[in-house]
Structure 1
Amino acid sequence: MNRFFPWGFLSLIALAFLLLFIAYPISGILMRSFIGESGTFSFEGFTIFLSKGKYLEALLNSIILGVTVTFTCTVVGVFLAFIVARYEIPFGGIVFLLPLSVLIIPELISAQSWIMVFGNNGLVTNALKALGIPFPRFYGWFGLVYVMTLTFYVHIFLAALAALRGFDHSLEEAGLSLGTAPLATYFKVVFPTITPAVLSAGLIVFTLVVGNFAIAINLGQRVPLLSVMTYRSFISELGGNPTMQSTLATVSILLVASVLFLQKWYISKRNYHMVAGRTPPRAKLTGWKSLLASGSAGFIIVLSLLPALVVLVGSFTQSRGPVMYWGQFTLDNYSRIWEFNLAVIGNSLRFATLATVLGVIFATLVSYLLVKKRNPLSATLDYLLLLPLTISGTVLGIALAQGYNTGPLVLTGTAALMVLAMMLRRLPFGVRNASANLHNISNSLEEASVSLGVPPVRTFFNIVLPLMAPGIAAAAILTWVTTVAELSASVVIYQAGQETLPIQIFRLISSDLMARASAFGVINMIIILVPVFFGIKVMNVKLFSS
């Protein structure tokens, strides 16, 4: 019994929490997809899905979009990583802004900014129209691929850059010494070595694209997509039979789970390990090669950071309905927030704070249990923590709303469910960051403390927790900035009076009130930027170390 307390008991509590709030709602949505209109076991939902063209079209479109964006992100990300890792470029020092841009500029704001530039009433669209030059419609496939590529390629860039910097240059030199051309050496030696890292990041991109809601619903107006169709099915059928919404959610889960399985299988067959070696030197380019490399990298960086500038300028731009008068500045957009919408900001701060505090406490405990105190329950804990990665935010929101709509624990419609959804969405990443430096903490430190009579729990707080502080700080910051920007799960389950900044921005974009949406977007980015800046500059937190 003494061996069970306290860590075995805490593992049991953590397992019960994950079973109750992750496994139960997800298994519920899977089972409801096999219940027909009559309330009995049936394949009715899947029969309708396979027989109606709109559902199959949405599935096919989602797969095509996921593959296409993953490919374009790989091309852009690997290209930029190669330039940064191998060559000296004039503005190489600002490349560190790229991963931060993903945090500071949420997907919704990125979509909004490009609509303001290339949309029907966009700045470039109207400027070209005034000159008599027609501009192709931005909504649809082109807009989806363009915006998603610029939003998600950073995941590939970071993975490829880390792999290239860890590559043993002697392998490349050996290939060249055997007479292999430089380009052939890259394809035969360098790129196969970084392939596992790129594929792992590619899986993340694919799942983000397939489950994306913010960009898809704003730009894919004429392209049926599974994530948007699942959301609309839930909204239209709320209170009715949940068969089709559950079926659509189940198909989304199976799609991502299948890709995860294929990726794991592929990487297991083609895995490479660098034991030791020299980092490749960075060459200095001159002439047209320098201009081409620097110009291409600079162009990508500018496009990545441009949405923040567009939204900032748009927030001070005068507007009348959907028409924005660029060059005419006003503070009216902010004054309206001050007068009528302060509660929205308060909701975002309150929900995100609660989700961050609860999420970090739970992530810290679970990471310690999985790394330092493994027991027979650890494998199940590991598995359950992966489940949020296999579902989109929309599916998670639907699962929670359906799972806790009736029964002994009714949470649907409450602020508690909003906080819970925000917490669960980012829990796997919080655990990963919290455990980032646990492997480097020697067990002998705890053993010495316990041998001196200090109880295990007090030893954890006095010895281990301070050493985990950098990872916990990174987990807290990343959890905060992602929950403040959360839309896909919260937009499904929120009720009147629970609107957050992303939900309000989404509603304003849907009404074509871009200037007012921009003001909310700037406030959202400031709320995100402040803790990021404080963590990096004041606390020296390494946000992307894990």
Structure 2
Amino acid sequence: MNRFLPWGLLSLLALAFLLLFIAYPIIGILLRSFIDESGEFSLEGFFIFLNQGRYLEALANSIILGLSVTFCCTVVGVFLAFIVARFDIPFSNIVFLLPLSVLIIPELISAQSWIMVFGNNGLVTHLLDAFGIPFPRFYGWFGLIYVMTLTYYVHIFLAALAALRGFDHSLEEAGQSLGTAPLTTYVKVVFPTIIPAVLSAGLIVFTLVVGNFAIAISLGQRVPLLSVLTYRSFISELGGNPTMQSTLATVSILLVALVLFLQRWYISKRDYQMVAGRTPPRSKLKGWKSWAATGVAGLVIVLSLLPALVVLAGSFTVSRGPVMYWGQFTLDNYTRILDFNLGVVGNSLKFASLATLLGVTFATLVSYLLVKKRSALSSTLDYLLLLPLTISGTVLGISLAQGFNSGPMVLTGTAALMVLAMMLRRLPFGVRNASSNLHNISNSLEEASVSLGVPPGRTFFNVVLPLMAPGIAAAAILTWVTTVAELSASVVIYQAGQETLPIQIFRLINSDLMARASAFGVINMVIILVPVFIGIRVMKVKLFSS
């Protein structure tokens, strides 16, 4: 019994928590897709899905969009990573701000900013109209692929950059010594070795695109998408079919699971292992090559950071309904927030703080159990922690709302469910960051403490926890900034009085009140930026070390 306490008991409690709040809702939504409105077993939902064109069109569109954005992200991300890893170009240090831009500029604000530039009432649209130059409609495929590529390419960039920096330069030299041209060497030697890393990041991008809600509903007005249909099926007040909610969610889960299987199968067939070697040197480009590489890299950087500037300018711009009068400045947008909407800001701070505190506490415990105290339950814990990564936020929100709307634990409609959804959405990333330096902590430190008579629990708090502090700090900051920006799960479960900043921004965008939405967006970005700045500059936290 002493060997079971305390870590065996804590593993059991952690498993029970994940089974109750992750496995149970997801299994529930899968099972409900096979039950009709009378409670009997039925394939009605799948029959409707296969026989109504809009559902199949939404599935096909989601797959095409996912593949298109993943391809574009791969081209942009690998190119930028190659330029940064191999060449010394001006402004190369600024490139490393790109991962931060993804954190500081939530995808909803990114979509909003580009609508303000290229939308029907956008700045560029009106400017071109004044000169009689027609501008193609931004809503639809072009807008979706454009904005999602600029939002998600950083995942490919980071993966490709890490792989290129770990490449053994002697292999490249060997290929060129045999008379192979540099370009051929890159194609046949260098790029195949980074394919596993790029594919893993590509799976993340595909999953994010298929499950994306904010950009999809803002820009995909004429493009039926699975995530948007799932949301609309859930919130439909008249004629809503509860079976279809579960069926659409099930199709989304199966789609991501299929892509995950294909990705792992492909990587298993192309397994490359790199032994330690020399890191490729960075050379200095000259002439037109330098200008071209710098220009393309600079353009990507500017386009990545531009949304923050657009939203900032829009927040001070005079507007009358959907019309914004660029060049005329006012503080009215912020005054309205101070007078009527401070509760929205308070909700975001309150919900995100609780979700971060609970999430990081749980992630710290689970990461320790998985790395240092593995048991028969560890594999099950691992799989359960992966589940939130395989489903979209909309599906997670629907599964929680359906799973806890009756029975002994009714949470639907409560603030507790909002906090729970925010916590679960980011839990896998919290565990990953909290465990980032656990592998470097020697077991002998704990063993020495226990051998001196210190109980295991106190040893954990006095010895291990201080050494885990850098990883925990990174987990806390990343959990906070992503939780403050959370929309897809919370938008399907919130009730009146529980609106957060992203929900309020979403509602204002739907009403074409872009100036007011911009003011909320600036506040959201400030709330995100402050802990990031403190963590990086003051606490010296390495957010992307893991």
Cα 1:8–1:238 change in 2 (3 A) is: farther
Structure-2 residue corresponding to 1:96: 96
Structure-1 residue corresponding to 2:2: 2
Determine helix, strand or coil for the equivalent of 2:120.
coil
Superposition pairs of residues 519-530 of structure 1, within 5 angstroms: 519-530=519-530
- Quick one: which amino acid aligns to residue 270 of structure 2? R
Determine helix, strand or coil for the equivalent of 2:498.
coil
Report Cα offsets for 1:221-260 as digits up to 9, x if no partner: 0000000000000001589651000000000000001111
Structure-1 residue corresponding to 2:184: 184
Structure-2 residue corresponding to 1:279: 279
Deviates more, 1:3-12 or 1:230-239: 230-239
Determine helix, strand or coil for the equivalent of 1:284.
coil
Superposition pairs of residues 131-530 of structure 1, within 5 angstroms: 131-236=131-236, 241-530=241-530
Counterpart CA distance in 1 for 2:205 and 2:271 is: 20
- Quick one: which amino acid aligns to residue 409 of structure 1? M
RMSD between aligned alpha carbons?
Answer: 0.8
Determine helix, strand or coil for the equivalent of 2:508.
helix
Post-superposition shift, 1:265?
Answer: 1.2
Counterpart CA distance in 1 for 2:102 and 2:273 is: 29
Counterpart CA distance in 2 for 1:68 and 1:221 is: 18
Does the CA-based 8 Å contact 2:233-2:241 persist in structure 1? no
Report Cα offsets for 1:8-27 as digits up to 9, x if no partner: 00000000000000000000
Counterpart CA distance in 2 for 1:268 and 1:453 is: 47
Counterpart CA distance in 2 for 1:82 and 1:425 is: 32
Gapped regions of structure 1 (runs ≥ 5): none
Counterpart CA distance in 2 for 1:245 and 1:465 is: 43
Does the CA-based 8 Å contact 2:312-2:518 persist in structure 1? yes
Counterpart CA distance in 1 for 2:361 and 2:501 is: 25
Counterpart CA distance in 2 for 1:406 and 1:239 is: 22
Structure-1 residue corresponding to 2:23: 23
- Quick one: which amino acid aligns to residue 278 of structure 1? R
Post-superposition shift, 1:402?
Answer: 0.3
Structure-1 residue corresponding to 2:80: 80
Does the CA-based 8 Å contact 2:196-2:271 persist in structure 1? yes
- Quick one: which amino acid aligns to residue 225 of structure 2? L
TM-score, normalised to structure 1, is 0.99
Counterpart CA distance in 1 for 2:94 and 2:254 is: 40
Gapped regions of structure 2 (runs ≥ 5): none
- Quick one: which amino acid aligns to residue 403 of structure 2? G
Counterpart CA distance in 2 for 1:339 and 1:308 is: 24
Counterpart CA distance in 1 for 2:141 and 2:208 is: 17
Post-superposition shift, 1:37?
Answer: 2.6
Identity fraction in percent: 87
- Quick one: which amino acid aligns to residue 137 of structure 2? R
Counterpart CA distance in 2 for 1:336 and 1:529 is: 23
- Quick one: which amino acid aligns to residue 223 of structure 1? V
- Quick one: which amino acid aligns to residue 41 of structure 1? F
Deviates more, 1:261-270 or 1:23-32: 261-270
- Quick one: which amino acid aligns to residue 533 of structure 1? F
Determine helix, strand or coil for the equivalent of 1:111.
helix
Does the CA-based 8 Å contact 2:234-2:240 persist in structure 1? no
Counterpart CA distance in 2 for 1:343 and 1:494 is: 14
Determine helix, strand or coil for the equivalent of 1:426.
helix
Post-superposition shift, 1:274?
Answer: 1.5
- Quick one: which amino acid aligns to residue 185 of structure 1? T
Cα 1:237–1:3 change in 2 (3 A) is: farther
Post-superposition shift, 1:275?
Answer: 1.1
- Quick one: which amino acid aligns to residue 436 of structure 2? A
- Quick one: which amino acid aligns to residue 146 of structure 1? Y
Structure-1 residue corresponding to 2:113: 113
Post-superposition shift, 1:264?
Answer: 1.1
Post-superposition shift, 1:267?
Answer: 1.1
Does the CA-based 8 Å contact 2:58-2:226 persist in structure 1? yes
Post-superposition shift, 1:50?
Answer: 0.4
Determine helix, strand or coil for the equivalent of 2:376.
coil
Counterpart CA distance in 1 for 2:61 and 2:221 is: 13
- Quick one: which amino acid aligns to residue 84 of structure 1? V
Post-superposition shift, 1:40?
Answer: 0.3
Report Cα offsets for 1:49-93 as digits up to 9, x if no partner: 001100000000000000000000000000000011111111011
Structure-2 residue corresponding to 1:42: 42
TM-score, normalised to structure 2, is 0.99
Counterpart CA distance in 2 for 1:237 and 1:45 is: 18
Counterpart CA distance in 2 for 1:3 and 1:264 is: 37
Cα 1:360–1:397 change in 2 (3 A) is: same
Counterpart CA distance in 1 for 2:162 and 2:239 is: 49
Determine helix, strand or coil for the equivalent of 2:328.
strand
- Quick one: which amino acid aligns to residue 266 of structure 1? Y
Counterpart CA distance in 1 for 2:405 and 2:431 is: 29
Counterpart CA distance in 2 for 1:241 and 1:64 is: 26
Post-superposition shift, 1:288?
Answer: 0.6
Post-superposition shift, 1:268?
Answer: 1.5
Determine helix, strand or coil for the equivalent of 1:14.
helix
Deviates more, 1:522-531 or 1:235-244: 235-244
Counterpart CA distance in 2 for 1:102 and 1:270 is: 31
The number of aligned residues is: 546
Report Cα offsets for 1:504-538 as digits up to 9, x if no partner: 00000000000000000000000000000000001
Report Cα offsets for 1:401-455 as digits up to 9, x if no partner: 0000011000000000000000000000000000000000000000010000000
Counterpart CA distance in 2 for 1:121 and 1:403 is: 42
